[in-house]
Structure 1
Protein backbone atom coordinates (compact mmCIF):
# COMPACT_ATOMS: atom_id res chain seq x y z
CA UNK A 1 0.00 0.00 0.00
CA UNK A 2 1.29 3.46 -0.87
CA UNK A 3 1.59 5.85 2.08
CA UNK A 4 -0.81 8.78 1.99
CA UNK A 5 0.41 12.31 1.22
CA UNK A 6 -0.25 13.22 4.83
CA UNK A 7 1.86 10.29 6.04
CA UNK A 8 4.64 11.18 3.61
CA UNK A 9 4.60 14.76 4.82
CA UNK A 10 4.76 13.60 8.42
CA UNK A 11 7.70 11.33 7.62
CA UNK A 12 9.58 14.17 5.95
CA UNK A 13 9.00 16.46 8.93
CA UNK A 14 10.20 13.72 11.28
CA UNK A 15 13.32 13.12 9.19
CA UNK A 16 14.08 16.86 9.08
CA UNK A 17 13.63 17.28 12.82
CA UNK A 18 15.84 14.27 13.62
CA UNK A 19 18.66 15.24 11.24
CA UNK A 20 22.02 15.87 12.84
CA UNK A 21 23.47 19.36 12.70
CA UNK A 22 26.97 19.65 11.25
CA UNK A 23 29.61 19.69 13.95
CA UNK A 24 32.70 21.88 13.87
CA UNK A 25 34.71 18.94 12.49
CA UNK A 26 32.15 18.41 9.71
CA UNK A 27 32.32 22.09 8.78
CA UNK A 28 36.13 22.15 8.81
CA UNK A 29 36.31 19.05 6.61
CA UNK A 30 33.98 20.76 4.14
CA UNK A 31 35.90 24.03 4.46
CA UNK A 32 32.74 26.14 4.45
CA UNK A 33 30.18 27.25 7.03
CA UNK A 34 26.66 28.16 5.90
CA UNK A 35 25.47 31.29 7.69
CA UNK A 36 22.03 32.85 7.38
CA UNK A 37 21.02 36.44 8.01
CA UNK A 38 18.21 38.76 7.01
CA UNK A 39 20.01 41.31 4.86
CA UNK A 40 17.47 44.04 5.65
CA UNK A 41 18.53 45.40 9.03
CA UNK A 42 21.05 48.22 8.54
CA UNK A 43 23.65 48.83 9.85
CA UNK A 44 23.88 45.23 11.13
CA UNK A 45 23.10 43.22 8.00
CA UNK A 46 21.89 44.68 4.71
CA UNK A 47 22.51 44.83 0.99
CA UNK A 48 24.48 47.67 -0.54
CA UNK A 49 23.53 47.04 -4.12
CA UNK A 50 24.19 43.31 -4.65
CA UNK A 51 26.70 43.13 -1.80
CA UNK A 52 25.73 41.82 1.65
CA UNK A 53 27.39 43.99 4.28
CA UNK A 54 27.07 45.43 7.77
CA UNK A 55 28.47 45.04 11.28
CA UNK A 56 27.32 41.43 11.71
CA UNK A 57 28.48 40.45 8.23
CA UNK A 58 31.98 41.82 8.86
CA UNK A 59 32.04 40.20 12.29
CA UNK A 60 30.95 36.81 10.94
CA UNK A 61 33.60 36.99 8.21
CA UNK A 62 36.26 37.71 10.85
CA UNK A 63 35.04 34.85 13.07
CA UNK A 64 34.98 32.41 10.15
CA UNK A 65 38.52 33.42 9.16
CA UNK A 66 39.67 32.78 12.72
CA UNK A 67 37.94 29.36 12.59
CA UNK A 68 39.70 28.58 9.31
CA UNK A 69 36.62 28.28 7.10
CA UNK A 70 34.91 30.23 4.32
CA UNK A 71 31.29 31.43 4.48
CA UNK A 72 28.39 30.56 2.22
CA UNK A 73 25.82 33.27 2.95
CA UNK A 74 22.04 32.89 2.84
CA UNK A 75 19.70 35.88 3.17
CA UNK A 76 15.97 35.53 3.81
CA UNK A 77 13.10 36.81 5.92
CA UNK A 78 13.79 37.29 9.62
CA UNK A 79 10.97 35.06 10.84
CA UNK A 80 12.25 32.09 8.77
CA UNK A 81 15.83 32.11 10.07
CA UNK A 82 15.52 30.08 13.26
CA UNK A 83 13.09 27.62 11.68
CA UNK A 84 15.60 26.92 8.91
CA UNK A 85 18.34 26.45 11.49
CA UNK A 86 16.32 23.76 13.24
CA UNK A 87 15.88 22.03 9.86
CA UNK A 88 19.67 22.07 9.21
CA UNK A 89 19.34 24.34 6.20
CA UNK A 90 22.30 26.34 7.54
CA UNK A 91 24.80 26.03 10.37
CA UNK A 92 24.51 29.39 12.08
CA UNK A 93 22.31 32.47 12.19
CA UNK A 94 23.61 35.98 12.83
CA UNK A 95 20.76 38.47 12.50
CA UNK A 96 20.49 40.53 15.69
CA UNK A 97 18.45 37.94 17.56
CA UNK A 98 17.92 38.91 21.18
CA UNK A 99 18.39 36.08 23.67
CA UNK A 100 15.02 35.14 25.17
CA UNK A 101 13.85 32.25 27.31
CA UNK A 102 11.43 31.11 24.61
CA UNK A 103 14.01 31.15 21.81
CA UNK A 104 16.54 29.38 24.03
CA UNK A 105 14.19 26.39 24.17
CA UNK A 106 14.47 26.01 20.38
CA UNK A 107 18.09 26.93 19.57
CA UNK A 108 21.47 27.24 21.28
CA UNK A 109 22.73 30.80 21.58
CA UNK A 110 26.40 31.69 21.58
CA UNK A 111 27.88 34.38 23.80
CA UNK A 112 26.41 37.80 22.92
CA UNK A 113 28.23 39.83 20.28
CA UNK A 114 26.59 43.08 21.35
CA UNK A 115 24.11 44.55 23.79
CA UNK A 116 21.40 46.97 22.82
CA UNK A 117 17.66 47.35 23.20
CA UNK A 118 14.48 48.65 21.66
CA UNK A 119 13.87 52.39 21.75
CA UNK A 120 11.00 54.64 20.80
CA UNK A 121 11.39 56.56 17.52
CA UNK A 122 8.86 59.18 16.48
CA UNK A 123 8.46 62.42 14.53
CA UNK A 124 6.47 63.89 17.41
CA UNK A 125 8.75 65.33 20.14
CA UNK A 126 6.04 64.54 22.70
CA UNK A 127 6.44 60.79 22.04
CA UNK A 128 9.65 59.70 23.77
CA UNK A 129 8.88 57.14 26.47
CA UNK A 130 6.89 53.89 26.65
CA UNK A 131 4.24 55.83 28.62
CA UNK A 132 3.89 58.24 25.68
CA UNK A 133 2.78 55.36 23.44
CA UNK A 134 -0.61 55.14 25.15
CA UNK A 135 -3.32 55.77 22.55
CA UNK A 136 -0.78 55.59 19.71
CA UNK A 137 -0.19 53.29 16.73
CA UNK A 138 3.25 51.67 16.90
CA UNK A 139 5.22 49.89 14.17
CA UNK A 140 7.40 46.85 14.94
CA UNK A 141 8.95 44.00 12.95
CA UNK A 142 7.23 40.62 12.72
CA UNK A 143 8.85 37.90 14.83
CA UNK A 144 11.09 40.32 16.70
CA UNK A 145 11.58 41.04 20.40
CA UNK A 146 10.37 44.55 19.59
CA UNK A 147 6.95 43.11 18.75
CA UNK A 148 7.08 40.87 21.82
CA UNK A 149 7.88 43.72 24.21
CA UNK A 150 5.63 46.35 22.65
CA UNK A 151 2.73 43.88 22.80
CA UNK A 152 3.16 43.81 26.59
CA UNK A 153 2.50 47.56 26.85
CA UNK A 154 -1.02 48.58 27.81
CA UNK A 155 -3.19 51.31 26.36
CA UNK A 156 -1.79 51.35 22.82
CA UNK A 157 -4.25 52.11 20.04
CA UNK A 158 -2.70 49.55 17.68
CA UNK A 159 0.48 47.55 17.11
CA UNK A 160 1.27 47.20 13.41
CA UNK A 161 3.87 44.58 12.53
CA UNK A 162 5.75 44.55 9.24
CA UNK A 163 7.95 41.87 7.59
CA UNK A 164 11.01 44.15 7.56
CA UNK A 165 12.22 46.74 10.02
CA UNK A 166 12.78 49.12 7.11
CA UNK A 167 9.04 48.83 6.39
CA UNK A 168 8.37 50.07 9.94
CA UNK A 169 10.62 53.04 9.34
CA UNK A 170 8.83 53.86 6.08
CA UNK A 171 5.46 53.65 7.82
CA UNK A 172 6.61 56.22 10.40
CA UNK A 173 8.16 58.54 7.82
CA UNK A 174 4.96 58.41 5.74
CA UNK A 175 2.74 59.11 8.74
CA UNK A 176 0.97 55.75 8.83
CA UNK A 177 2.03 55.14 12.44
CA UNK A 178 2.84 57.40 15.40
CA UNK A 179 5.99 55.62 16.54
CA UNK A 180 8.45 52.88 15.67
CA UNK A 181 10.24 50.66 18.19
CA UNK A 182 13.59 49.35 16.95
CA UNK A 183 17.18 48.73 17.95
CA UNK A 184 18.92 51.84 19.26
CA UNK A 185 21.79 51.51 16.76
CA UNK A 186 19.35 51.06 13.88
CA UNK A 187 17.60 54.22 15.04
CA UNK A 188 20.91 56.03 15.32
CA UNK A 189 21.80 55.11 11.72
CA UNK A 190 18.32 56.04 10.48
CA UNK A 191 18.50 59.47 12.07
CA UNK A 192 21.96 60.07 10.62
CA UNK A 193 21.04 58.99 7.09
CA UNK A 194 17.64 60.72 6.93
CA UNK A 195 17.99 63.99 8.82
CA UNK A 196 15.26 65.59 6.69
CA UNK A 197 12.72 62.94 7.77
CA UNK A 198 12.42 64.56 11.20
CA UNK A 199 12.82 61.34 13.18
CA UNK A 200 13.61 61.62 16.90
CA UNK A 201 15.07 58.92 19.16
CA UNK A 202 13.46 58.45 22.56
CA UNK A 203 13.88 56.18 25.57
CA UNK A 204 14.41 52.44 25.91
CA UNK A 205 11.40 50.13 25.97
CA UNK A 206 13.67 47.22 26.97
CA UNK A 207 17.34 46.17 26.97
CA UNK A 208 18.66 42.89 25.55
CA UNK A 209 21.73 40.81 24.70
CA UNK A 210 22.19 39.87 21.04
CA UNK A 211 23.81 36.61 19.94
CA UNK A 212 24.36 34.15 17.12
CA UNK A 213 22.33 30.93 17.15
CA UNK A 214 23.20 27.35 16.24
CA UNK A 215 20.99 24.27 16.26
CA UNK A 216 19.96 23.19 19.76
CA UNK A 217 22.76 21.14 21.31
CA UNK A 218 25.44 21.85 18.69
CA UNK A 219 28.01 22.47 21.43
CA UNK A 220 31.14 22.12 19.30
CA UNK A 221 30.08 24.86 16.90
CA UNK A 222 28.83 27.15 19.68
CA UNK A 223 32.15 26.77 21.50
CA UNK A 224 34.13 27.52 18.33
CA UNK A 225 32.10 30.68 17.70
CA UNK A 226 32.57 31.76 21.33
CA UNK A 227 36.33 31.22 21.10
CA UNK A 228 36.57 33.10 17.80
CA UNK A 229 34.52 36.00 19.17
CA UNK A 230 36.64 36.17 22.34
CA UNK A 231 39.78 36.23 20.22
CA UNK A 232 38.47 39.11 18.10
CA UNK A 233 37.53 41.04 21.21
CA UNK A 234 41.00 40.48 22.69
CA UNK A 235 43.06 41.43 19.63
CA UNK A 236 41.20 44.64 18.75
CA UNK A 237 39.45 43.34 15.63
CA UNK A 238 36.00 43.49 17.23
CA UNK A 239 36.46 47.09 18.34
CA UNK A 240 37.66 48.12 14.87
CA UNK A 241 34.60 46.55 13.20
CA UNK A 242 32.28 48.05 15.81
CA UNK A 243 33.70 51.56 15.43
CA UNK A 244 33.58 51.26 11.65
CA UNK A 245 29.81 50.75 11.74
CA UNK A 246 28.69 52.29 15.05
CA UNK A 247 31.40 54.82 15.96
CA UNK A 248 31.61 53.09 19.33
CA UNK A 249 32.40 49.73 20.93
CA UNK A 250 29.05 48.01 21.41
CA UNK A 251 30.14 44.81 23.21
CA UNK A 252 28.24 43.91 26.37
CA UNK A 253 29.80 45.39 29.50
Structure 2
Protein backbone atom coordinates (compact mmCIF):
# COMPACT_ATOMS: atom_id res chain seq x y z
CA UNK A 1 0.00 0.00 0.00
CA UNK A 2 1.35 3.43 -0.96
CA UNK A 3 0.84 6.23 1.55
CA UNK A 4 1.53 9.97 1.38
CA UNK A 5 3.67 11.76 3.96
CA UNK A 6 0.50 13.11 5.55
CA UNK A 7 -0.90 9.59 5.57
CA UNK A 8 2.19 8.26 7.34
CA UNK A 9 1.91 11.06 9.91
CA UNK A 10 -1.70 10.14 10.57
CA UNK A 11 -0.71 6.49 10.99
CA UNK A 12 2.09 7.42 13.39
CA UNK A 13 -0.19 9.69 15.42
CA UNK A 14 -2.81 6.94 15.49
CA UNK A 15 -0.26 4.36 16.64
CA UNK A 16 0.98 6.72 19.33
CA UNK A 17 -2.59 7.28 20.45
CA UNK A 18 -3.17 3.54 20.74
CA UNK A 19 0.02 3.19 22.77
CA UNK A 20 -0.95 5.99 25.14
CA UNK A 21 -4.46 4.61 25.46
CA UNK A 22 -3.04 1.19 26.35
CA UNK A 23 -0.69 2.76 28.90
CA UNK A 24 -3.56 4.77 30.38
CA UNK A 25 -5.53 1.60 31.09
CA UNK A 26 -3.28 0.72 34.04
CA UNK A 27 -5.54 0.77 37.12
CA UNK A 28 -4.83 2.98 40.09
CA UNK A 29 -5.20 1.77 43.67
CA UNK A 30 -8.62 3.40 44.18
CA UNK A 31 -10.01 1.56 41.15
CA UNK A 32 -8.51 -1.74 42.32
CA UNK A 33 -9.90 -1.24 45.83
CA UNK A 34 -13.38 -0.49 44.49
CA UNK A 35 -13.27 -3.64 42.36
CA UNK A 36 -12.12 -5.67 45.38
CA UNK A 37 -9.66 -7.62 43.24
CA UNK A 38 -6.05 -7.22 42.17
CA UNK A 39 -4.69 -8.88 39.02
CA UNK A 40 -1.21 -10.26 39.63
CA UNK A 41 1.10 -11.82 37.03
CA UNK A 42 3.89 -14.32 37.59
CA UNK A 43 5.84 -16.81 35.52
CA UNK A 44 4.97 -20.19 37.01
CA UNK A 45 8.26 -21.78 35.92
CA UNK A 46 10.61 -20.81 38.75
CA UNK A 47 10.31 -23.26 41.62
CA UNK A 48 10.22 -22.86 44.56
CA UNK A 49 9.15 -19.22 44.10
CA UNK A 50 6.43 -19.60 41.48
CA UNK A 51 5.48 -22.83 39.72
CA UNK A 52 2.60 -25.14 38.93
CA UNK A 53 1.56 -28.20 40.93
CA UNK A 54 -1.34 -30.17 39.44
CA UNK A 55 -2.27 -27.16 37.26
CA UNK A 56 -2.35 -24.88 40.30
CA UNK A 57 -0.03 -21.88 40.51
CA UNK A 58 1.86 -22.00 43.80
CA UNK A 59 5.21 -21.27 45.42
CA UNK A 60 6.73 -18.94 47.99
CA UNK A 61 5.95 -15.74 46.06
CA UNK A 62 2.45 -16.86 45.17
CA UNK A 63 1.57 -17.61 48.78
CA UNK A 64 3.25 -14.40 49.94
CA UNK A 65 1.27 -12.28 47.47
CA UNK A 66 -1.93 -13.94 48.66
CA UNK A 67 -1.06 -13.01 52.26
CA UNK A 68 -0.32 -9.40 51.26
CA UNK A 69 -3.50 -9.10 49.17
CA UNK A 70 -5.54 -10.39 52.11
CA UNK A 71 -4.08 -7.65 54.30
CA UNK A 72 -5.13 -5.17 51.58
CA UNK A 73 -8.67 -6.60 51.64
CA UNK A 74 -8.37 -7.80 48.04
CA UNK A 75 -9.00 -11.04 46.18
CA UNK A 76 -6.36 -12.11 43.65
CA UNK A 77 -6.76 -12.99 39.98
CA UNK A 78 -3.60 -14.71 38.75
CA UNK A 79 -2.01 -14.56 35.30
CA UNK A 80 0.93 -16.75 34.27
CA UNK A 81 3.14 -16.13 31.23
CA UNK A 82 6.73 -15.85 29.99
CA UNK A 83 9.15 -13.99 32.25
CA UNK A 84 10.35 -11.52 29.61
CA UNK A 85 6.77 -10.25 28.99
CA UNK A 86 5.80 -9.62 32.60
CA UNK A 87 7.08 -6.09 33.22
CA UNK A 88 5.99 -4.80 29.80
CA UNK A 89 2.41 -5.83 30.57
CA UNK A 90 2.26 -3.57 33.63
CA UNK A 91 2.32 -0.32 31.69
CA UNK A 92 -0.11 -1.77 29.13
CA UNK A 93 -2.65 -2.27 31.91
CA UNK A 94 -2.78 -6.03 31.38
CA UNK A 95 -2.32 -6.65 35.12
CA UNK A 96 -1.81 -4.57 38.25
CA UNK A 97 1.28 -6.12 39.83
CA UNK A 98 4.05 -8.58 38.98
CA UNK A 99 5.76 -10.88 41.46
CA UNK A 100 8.28 -13.16 39.77
CA UNK A 101 11.68 -12.85 41.46
CA UNK A 102 12.72 -9.68 39.65
CA UNK A 103 15.98 -8.31 40.96
CA UNK A 104 15.84 -4.54 41.43
CA UNK A 105 18.08 -2.89 38.82
CA UNK A 106 18.43 0.70 37.62
CA UNK A 107 17.38 -0.31 34.11
CA UNK A 108 14.17 -1.98 35.29
CA UNK A 109 13.42 0.87 37.71
CA UNK A 110 13.29 3.25 34.75
CA UNK A 111 10.39 1.24 33.31
CA UNK A 112 8.40 0.17 36.40
CA UNK A 113 7.93 1.12 40.05
CA UNK A 114 9.25 -1.47 42.47
CA UNK A 115 7.74 -2.24 45.85
CA UNK A 116 9.91 -2.87 48.89
CA UNK A 117 11.90 -6.12 48.53
CA UNK A 118 10.36 -9.36 49.77
CA UNK A 119 13.60 -11.36 49.82
CA UNK A 120 17.32 -11.06 49.15
CA UNK A 121 19.25 -13.64 47.20
CA UNK A 122 21.71 -13.79 44.32
CA UNK A 123 23.10 -15.70 41.37
CA UNK A 124 24.99 -18.88 42.12
CA UNK A 125 27.17 -21.15 40.00
CA UNK A 126 25.77 -24.62 39.30
CA UNK A 127 27.59 -27.29 37.31
CA UNK A 128 28.20 -31.00 37.02
CA UNK A 129 31.89 -30.20 37.32
CA UNK A 130 32.86 -29.76 41.01
CA UNK A 131 35.79 -27.55 39.93
CA UNK A 132 33.38 -24.84 38.73
CA UNK A 133 32.33 -23.13 41.95
CA UNK A 134 33.12 -19.41 41.79
CA UNK A 135 33.10 -16.53 39.32
CA UNK A 136 36.83 -16.96 38.64
CA UNK A 137 36.26 -20.58 37.61
CA UNK A 138 34.00 -19.53 34.72
CA UNK A 139 36.83 -18.06 32.63
CA UNK A 140 36.87 -19.85 29.28
CA UNK A 141 33.55 -21.57 30.03
CA UNK A 142 30.07 -21.42 28.51
CA UNK A 143 27.25 -20.46 30.87
CA UNK A 144 23.45 -20.81 30.67
CA UNK A 145 21.03 -18.17 32.03
CA UNK A 146 17.37 -17.24 31.60
CA UNK A 147 16.26 -14.64 29.06
CA UNK A 148 15.32 -11.33 30.68
CA UNK A 149 16.99 -12.17 33.99
CA UNK A 150 19.52 -9.89 35.65
CA UNK A 151 22.08 -12.69 35.47
CA UNK A 152 22.92 -11.90 31.83
CA UNK A 153 23.95 -8.37 32.81
CA UNK A 154 25.90 -9.55 35.85
CA UNK A 155 27.79 -12.19 33.86
CA UNK A 156 28.76 -9.60 31.23
CA UNK A 157 30.92 -8.01 33.93
CA UNK A 158 33.00 -11.16 34.37
CA UNK A 159 36.22 -11.36 32.32
CA UNK A 160 37.11 -14.23 30.02
CA UNK A 161 33.79 -16.05 29.62
CA UNK A 162 33.64 -18.12 26.46
CA UNK A 163 29.88 -17.73 25.99
CA UNK A 164 26.72 -16.71 27.84
CA UNK A 165 23.66 -18.33 26.30
CA UNK A 166 20.14 -17.35 27.36
CA UNK A 167 17.01 -19.52 27.36
CA UNK A 168 13.28 -18.66 27.58
CA UNK A 169 12.87 -20.48 30.89
CA UNK A 170 15.29 -21.13 33.72
CA UNK A 171 14.47 -24.83 33.50
CA UNK A 172 15.65 -24.76 29.86
CA UNK A 173 18.97 -23.28 30.97
CA UNK A 174 19.33 -26.03 33.57
CA UNK A 175 18.54 -28.72 31.00
CA UNK A 176 21.14 -27.32 28.59
CA UNK A 177 23.81 -27.50 31.28
CA UNK A 178 22.80 -31.00 32.38
CA UNK A 179 22.91 -32.25 28.77
CA UNK A 180 26.50 -31.07 28.46
CA UNK A 181 25.77 -28.29 25.95
CA UNK A 182 27.16 -25.72 28.39
CA UNK A 183 29.57 -25.88 31.29
CA UNK A 184 27.60 -24.10 33.99
CA UNK A 185 24.22 -22.64 34.88
CA UNK A 186 23.77 -19.43 36.89
CA UNK A 187 20.49 -19.13 38.77
CA UNK A 188 19.04 -18.03 42.09
CA UNK A 189 20.64 -19.76 45.06
CA UNK A 190 17.33 -21.10 46.38
CA UNK A 191 16.33 -22.35 42.93
CA UNK A 192 19.69 -24.14 42.71
CA UNK A 193 19.22 -25.77 46.11
CA UNK A 194 15.70 -26.90 45.20
CA UNK A 195 16.91 -28.34 41.88
CA UNK A 196 19.75 -30.25 43.54
CA UNK A 197 17.32 -31.66 46.12
CA UNK A 198 14.72 -32.67 43.53
CA UNK A 199 17.28 -34.27 41.16
CA UNK A 200 19.80 -36.03 43.42
CA UNK A 201 20.92 -38.36 40.60
CA UNK A 202 21.78 -35.46 38.28
CA UNK A 203 25.00 -34.66 40.14
CA UNK A 204 24.35 -30.93 40.44
CA UNK A 205 27.22 -29.15 42.18
CA UNK A 206 26.05 -25.92 43.84
CA UNK A 207 28.90 -23.44 44.10
CA UNK A 208 29.24 -19.87 45.34
CA UNK A 209 27.28 -16.65 44.94
CA UNK A 210 28.67 -14.37 42.25
CA UNK A 211 26.44 -11.42 43.16
CA UNK A 212 23.67 -10.49 45.61
CA UNK A 213 20.44 -8.67 44.77
CA UNK A 214 17.20 -7.43 46.30
CA UNK A 215 14.05 -9.05 44.91
CA UNK A 216 10.80 -7.09 44.73
CA UNK A 217 7.36 -7.02 43.18
CA UNK A 218 6.60 -4.30 40.63
CA UNK A 219 3.70 -2.09 39.57
CA UNK A 220 3.26 0.24 36.61
CA UNK A 221 5.65 3.18 36.45
CA UNK A 222 4.42 5.94 38.74
CA UNK A 223 1.61 3.88 40.30
CA UNK A 224 2.85 5.02 43.71
CA UNK A 225 -0.42 4.68 45.69
CA UNK A 226 -0.63 0.99 44.77
CA UNK A 227 3.03 0.43 45.65
CA UNK A 228 2.56 2.19 49.00
CA UNK A 229 -0.53 0.16 49.86
CA UNK A 230 1.28 -3.06 48.95
CA UNK A 231 4.32 -2.04 51.01
CA UNK A 232 2.18 -1.34 54.08
CA UNK A 233 0.51 -4.74 53.79
CA UNK A 234 3.89 -6.43 53.24
CA UNK A 235 5.21 -4.82 56.43
CA UNK A 236 2.20 -6.19 58.31
CA UNK A 237 2.95 -9.68 56.96
CA UNK A 238 6.56 -9.25 58.14
CA UNK A 239 5.38 -8.09 61.58
CA UNK A 240 2.71 -10.70 62.35
CA UNK A 241 5.02 -13.70 61.90
CA UNK A 242 3.31 -15.10 58.79
CA UNK A 243 6.26 -14.20 56.53
CA UNK A 244 8.75 -15.94 58.83
CA UNK A 245 6.56 -19.06 58.98
CA UNK A 246 6.18 -19.15 55.19
CA UNK A 247 9.90 -18.63 54.64
CA UNK A 248 10.83 -21.35 57.12
CA UNK A 249 8.45 -23.76 55.41
CA UNK A 250 10.00 -23.19 51.99
CA UNK A 251 13.66 -22.55 52.82
CA UNK A 252 14.35 -23.45 56.44
CA UNK A 253 15.44 -19.86 57.07
CA UNK A 254 14.17 -16.28 57.00
CA UNK A 255 15.07 -14.93 53.54
CA UNK A 256 13.98 -11.30 53.98
CA UNK A 257 16.64 -8.64 53.38
CA UNK A 258 18.61 -7.88 56.49
Category of TM-score, reference length = shorter chain: over 0.9
Identify which of 41, 48, 58 aligns with 1:43.
48
TM-score for the superposition, normalised by structure 2? 0.94
Asked if 1:13 is matched to 2:33, the reply is: no
What SS does the corresponding residue of 2:121 show, helix, strand or coil? strand
- The reply to whether residue 121 of structure 1 matches residue 94 of structure 2 is no
Runs of 4+ in 1 over 4 A off after TM superposition: 1-7
Name the SS for the 1:209 alignment partner.
strand
Superposed counterparts of 1:84-95, under 5 Å: 84-95=89-100
Q: Structure 1 residue 66 and structure 2 residue 71: aligned?
A: yes
Q: Which residue does 2:3 correspond to in 1?
A: none
Using the size of structure 1 for normalisation, the TM-score is 0.96
Contact map agreement 2:26 2:94 (CA 8 A) in 1: no
Residue segments in structure 1 that go unaligned for 5+ positions in a row: none
Separation of aligned partners in 1, 2:231 and 2:89: 22
Aligned residue among 79, 87, 90 for 1:82: 87
| Structure 2 partner of 1:217 | 222
Q: Which residue of structure 1 lines up, in the alignment, with residue 194 of structure 2?
A: 189
User: Runs of 5+ in structure 2 lacking a partner?
Assistant: 1-5
Q: In structure 1, what is the equivalent of residue 152 of structure 2?
A: 147
Residue 218 of structure 1, CA deviation: 1.1
For each residue in 1:176-227, what CA deviation from the matched residue of structure 2 results, as whole angstroms up to 9, or x when unmatched?
1100000000001011111110001111111000000011111111111111
Distance in 2 between residues matched to 1:136 and 1:54, nearest whole Å: 32
The offset of 1:104, in angstroms, is 0.8
- Secondary structure of residue in 2 paired with 1:222: helix
Tell me what 1:175 maps to.
Answer: 180
1:150-161 paired onto structure 2 within 5 Å: 150-161=155-166
Aligned residues: 252
Deviating more after overlay: 5-14 vs 82-91 = 5-14
Distance in 2, matches of 1:197 and 1:222, equals 41
2:135 pairs with 115, 130, 137, which one? 130
Q: Secondary structure at the match of 1:175?
A: coil
Which secondary structure does the structure 1 equivalent of 2:144 belong to? strand
For residue 26 of structure 1, report the CA deviation from its aligned partner: 1.0
Superposed CA offset, 1:80-103 (max 9, x none): 011000111110000000011111
Q: Is residue 28 from structure 1 mapped to residue 7 from structure 2 by the alignment?
A: no
